[in-house]
Amino acid sequence: MEENLLLDAIERYRNGEMDDQEKTFFEELRKNNPEIDQVAVEHSFFLGELEKMSELKTLKNHLDEVESNLINEGIISRREGKAKAKIVYLWNRYRRTIAVAALIAGVVSISTATFVSNYSAKTNVGITPLVDNKLNQFEHKLNQIEHKLNDAAVVNKPKFEANFRATGFLADPSGYIITNAHVVDNARNLIVENKKGEQYFATAVYSNPTTDLAILKITDTSFKKVSGLPYTFSQTGAELAEPIFTLGYPREEVVYGEGYLSAKSGYFGDTTSYQISISVNPGNSGGPVINKNGEVIGIISSKETNADGVVFAIKSKNIYNALKEVKKDKNVSIKLPSLNSLKGINRVQQIKKLEDFVYKVKGN
Amino acid sequence: MKVYDQEKALLEGLAANDTNAIETIYRENYAAIQAFIVKNNGYPDDARDIFQEAMIILFEKAKSSSFILSCQIKTYLYSVCRRLWLKKLQKQNRYNPSIEMIQETVPVEEEIEWHEKRNDDFNQMENALLKIGEPCKSLLEAFYIQKKTMPEIASTFGYTNADNAKTQKYKCLVRLKKIFFAQYKNTD
């Protein structure tokens, strides 16, 4: 029982419950008796630990209390948050896996798409060829009136009912016209018409669905060799942001449009074409894309269906390749103009010189 | 200056175990911590644990006389929670190196280490209390934690007088000390 009293004394000493006399006596006792001193130190330490624990316990109770208050108030949302967090957690945990899976899925779908588009009959996904095949009744009427009017002036005049319209331009003064393969591929008859309304029958001497490039030969004997093609064909690449313009026939009348080169590759990274930003409509297909120096850098071919101002133009380099093939296969020699008379003159003058050589291409 | 005074008052409240101060700190900081933890692989329940622990660390800090508020409570809590959460993730092998640094942090390593040691002490005492069993546990808690007087305890526990309760308390205390120091020596 002595220890009992001792511990009680230590506790009272610690809590300051002793009067001065008792305190002095107790301190003396500790000083003279190392064993008692040891017990006192040990017990104080133990009580300290116990107090710390009790303090923390109180705090934890308070924290829990506050927490449950806030949960009741809806400030800490518990269950809802858990479901949401699970998704976030799973997402965070598996996002790499998801990314890899998505990448694989992407690669597979892209390669499948490429495979399908390569081996199916060249259906352009997501891009629209710019041929106007909605020549409506009104335009037919207009055409007929035009033809009647023209009949008076022009002797050789084929009677022709077209169901599409596009653009082409002369590459050789002897009657070779460059346009798109998609313009001519499904046509039975083709005619070309210049700004003056003179129409000539034409046939395709070259058509490559891969590059979407076609070369027409005017077969009409009434066609007289023209002179002074003002533009040349660029053999080197064009630069980003380079200003460009085009002439074409989105309507019966020739239409001018200008823009800039937005990317050095075309749809899905197609390196045989450029992406350009220019306002074009069905009918512009086959039109020349010309830079400020009067060099043809490309041929308008299509635009992205779901995007505005995303137009693709075949690089003019492909024309050179096409000419080589034509020479080899058909022994037809087409000579591109080598003299540029558009350089250094203003745009209005350039167009005036140019417009006679840009043709409407019609067919049925 | 006003913010500083407010925060100082909050910390004093926390040190005094004042529920209002605790609630204010909770209201102002909990959401951000939960957002951080949920964003970094955790559940809201983890956030509650981590936040409680950070509050305990802040409490210990606020109680120590040497404590000077060198940054905002918000920054301090965020730093502590961030460190604690990283540790927890590493322990569970869920460490995600993309953990986000969205706020400034202050170094809190020392405090956390110190806190961990104290947490061990706390657990040891709690374990020891659990081991001595009833009614010893309740009796000691009533006296040392709830600070009840001996006559009160005698009537609650049904002892005929305070002296008997005191004798019983003494026996319990000796057992508790034995268990506690045995554990203490084992871990050292």
Give me the CATH topology for the region B2-107: Rna Polymerase Sigma Factor; Chain: A (1.10.1740)
Three-class SS of A236-289 = CCCCCCCEEEEEECCCCCCEEEEEEEEECCCHHHCCCEEEEECCCCCCCCCCEE
Predicted local confidence at residue A251, as pLDDT: 86
Cross-chain Cβ contact A46/B180 below 8 Å: yes
Once rounded to an integer, what is the mean pLDDT over residues B163-184?
82
Domain residues of chain B, as ranges? 2-107, 112-187
Higher pLDDT, A137 or B47: B47
**Residue A220: is its pLDDT beyond 70?**
yes
Predicted local confidence at residue A179, as pLDDT: 93
- Which helix (H) or strand (E) segment is A108 a member of? helix A79-119
**Residue A79: is its pLDDT beyond 70?**
no
* pLDDT, tens only, A4-30: 777 778 888 887 777 888 888 888 888
Task: Decide: A320 and A338 in contact? Cβ < 8 Å.
Answer: no
* pLDDT, tens only, A195-218: 888 889 999 999 988 888 999 999
Cross-chain Cβ contact A89/B121 below 8 Å: no
Contacts of B2 (CB under 8 A, 6+ apart): none
Residues A71 and B146: their CA atoms lie apart, in Å, by 27
Predicted local confidence at residue A123, as pLDDT: 46
In this prediction, the answer to ipTM > 0.95 reads no
Higher pLDDT, A169 or A52: A169
Q: How confident is the model at residue A231 (pLDDT cuts 50, 70, 90)?
A: very high
A346: left (phi over 0), alpha (psi -120 to 50) or beta: beta
**Residue A155: is its pLDDT beyond 60?**
no
- Percentage of chain B beyond pLDDT 70 is 88
The shortest CB-CB distance from B144 to any of A54, A69, A82 is to A54
CA angle A276/A277/A280 to nearest 5° reads 100
Among A200-209, A299-308, B133-142, the range of highest mean pLDDT: A200-209
The shortest CB-CB distance from A53 to any of B22, B125, B170 is to B125
Residues A98 and A116: their CA atoms lie apart, in Å, by 26
Chain B residues with CB-CB distance to A under 8 A? 17, 19, 22-23, 26-27, 30-31, 34, 38-45, 48, 52, 55-56, 59, 94, 96, 118, 121-122, 124-126, 140-141, 144-145, 166-167, 170, 173-174, 177, 180-181
Predicted local confidence at residue A5, as pLDDT: 77
* pLDDT, tens only, B56-90: 888 888 887 777 767 788 888 888 898 888 888 87
Q: Which of A131, A128, A113 is nearest to A248 (CA)?
A: A131
Residues in chain B: 188
Position B155, amino acid: S
Distance of CA B66 to CAs A113, B9, B99, Å? 70, 16, 33
CA angle A42/A45/A50 to nearest 5° reads 125
**Residue A268: is its pLDDT beyond 60?**
yes
Predicted local confidence at residue A314, as pLDDT: 92
Task: Decide: A187 and A363 in contact? Cβ < 8 Å.
Answer: yes
Predicted local confidence at residue B140, as pLDDT: 83
Q: How many CB atoms lie within 10 A of CB A17?
A: 12
- Percentage of chain A beyond pLDDT 70 is 84
Q: Which of A196, A214, A90 is nearest to A153 (CA)?
A: A196
Q: How confident is the model at residue A288 (pLDDT cuts 50, 70, 90)?
A: very high
Distance of CA B161 to CAs A28, A76, B138, B143, B179, Å? 33, 48, 17, 15, 28
Predicted local confidence at residue B43, as pLDDT: 81
Predicted local confidence at residue A147, as pLDDT: 66
Q: How confident is the model at residue A37 (pLDDT cuts 50, 70, 90)?
A: confident
**Residue B166: is its pLDDT beyond 90?**
no
Average pLDDT score over chain A: 82
Optimal mutation site among B37, B85, B140, B144, interface A, most CBs of chain A within 10 A: B144
Q: Which of A135, A125, A122, A162 is nearest to A282 (CA)?
A: A135
Residues A232 and A338: their CA atoms lie apart, in Å, by 6
Question: What is the DSSP-derived secondary structure letter of residue A315?
Answer: E
Q: How many CB atoms lie within 10 A of CB A122?
A: 13
Contacts of A266 (CB under 8 A, 6+ apart): A272, A273, A274, A275, A312, A313
Q: How many CB atoms lie within 10 A of CB A14?
A: 15
Residues in chain A: 364
DSSP chain B: -HHHHHHHHHHHHHHTT-HHHHHHHHHHHHHHHHHHHHHTT--HHHHHHHHHHHHHHHHHHHHSTT----S-HHHHHHHHHHHHHHHHHHHTT---TT----S-----HHHHHHHHHHHHHHHHHHHHHHHH-TTHHHHHIIIIIS---HHHHHHHHT-SSHHHHHHHHHHHHHHHHHHHHHHHHHH-
**Residue A221: is its pLDDT beyond 70?**
yes
Once rounded to an integer, what is the mean pLDDT over residues B6-17?
84
Higher pLDDT, B166 or B96: B166
Segment among A332-341, B25-34, B38-47 with least mean pLDDT: B38-47
CATH annotation of B112-187: 1.10.10
Higher pLDDT, B127 or A96: B127
Token pair belonging to B84: 């604690």
Once rounded to an integer, what is the mean pLDDT over residues B163-173?
83
Higher pLDDT, B178 or A233: A233
Whether pTM > 0.80 for this model: the answer is no
Cross-chain Cβ contact B19/A62 below 8 Å: yes
Residues B139 and B170: their CA atoms lie apart, in Å, by 10
**Residue B40: is its pLDDT beyond 50?**
yes
A37 to chain B, closest Cα gap in Å: 17
Question: What is the DSSP-derived secondary structure letter of residue A147?
Answer: H
